[in-house]
Amino acid sequence: MLESPGRIEHREPAIARQHATPKPIDAHEPWMRGLHADTGYLLYRLGLRSGQLFNACLQESGLRLRHYAVLRFLATSEGALQRELSTRLGYDPSAIVGLVDDLEKQDFAERRPSPDDRRSRIVALTEKGRAFLRDTDEAGQRVTNELLGPLDPAERDALHALLLRIAEDGLN
């Protein structure tokens, strides 16, 4: 709303004036070429897309990719302290508490007393959690296949090996 002496003018917000269907992005526009030349940006965008696709697969269960990551980590261990989950997965400790709460409500994980410290709890995967992971393996593979569709098997293997090298060096 714009005010001028003696009158009030109503204007539609700029967002409402835009067309409902945005034009497709032209990958050859200079600003897109600049972004696509930035490997970090491409990794970021692919990570977002991967997360969106995977979250869509998990939507029915009420879980998200972050929950799945906790379950996958727990599947490789006999259990972990919440602070270890936070450190290993790179999640804020307060986020881990909420994620584990959600997983406990679904009976996918449980908190057990730590044998080394009565004040600490170990988070462990339940049989129902293991079954959920088995059931989501196919959905995860579909997401990967959709993302990596343009690559042949050798290129997929090379990409995976390169990403592992970067992850092992940069995420530890």
* Degrees, nearest 5: CA angle 62-134-60: 20
DSSP designation for 111: E
Distance in angstroms (rounded) separating the CA atoms of residues 33 and 28: 6
Q: How are beta strands 80-81 and 121-125 bridged, if at all?
A: antiparallel
80, two tokens: 């972990």
170, two tokens: 């940069």
Would the pTM count as exceeding 0.85? Answer: no
pLDDT value for 40: 85
Distance in angstroms (rounded) separating the CA atoms of residues 41 and 45: 6
Instruction: Give the whole-number percent of the chain exceeding pLDDT 70.
Output: 77
Distance, CA of 129 to chain centre: 19
63 neighbors 72 (Cβ within 8 angstroms): no
Write the pLDDT tens digit of every residue in 5-24. 555 554 544 444 444 555 56
45 neighbors 37 (Cβ within 8 angstroms): no
The stretch 140-159 carries a mean pLDDT of 92
The stretch 35-41 carries a mean pLDDT of 77
SS3 153: helix
The stretch 159-166 carries a mean pLDDT of 92
Burial class (CB in 10 A: 0-12, 13-18, 19+), 147: middle
The stretch 153-157 carries a mean pLDDT of 96
Instruction: Give the whole-number percent of the chain exceeding pLDDT 90.
Output: 44
Query: Residue 152 pLDDT more than 70?
Result: yes
pLDDT value for 62: 87
* Degrees, nearest 5: CA angle 33-145-59: 100
Write the pLDDT tens digit of every residue in 63-118. 999 999 999 999 998 899 999 999 999 999 999 999 999 999 999 999 998 888 88
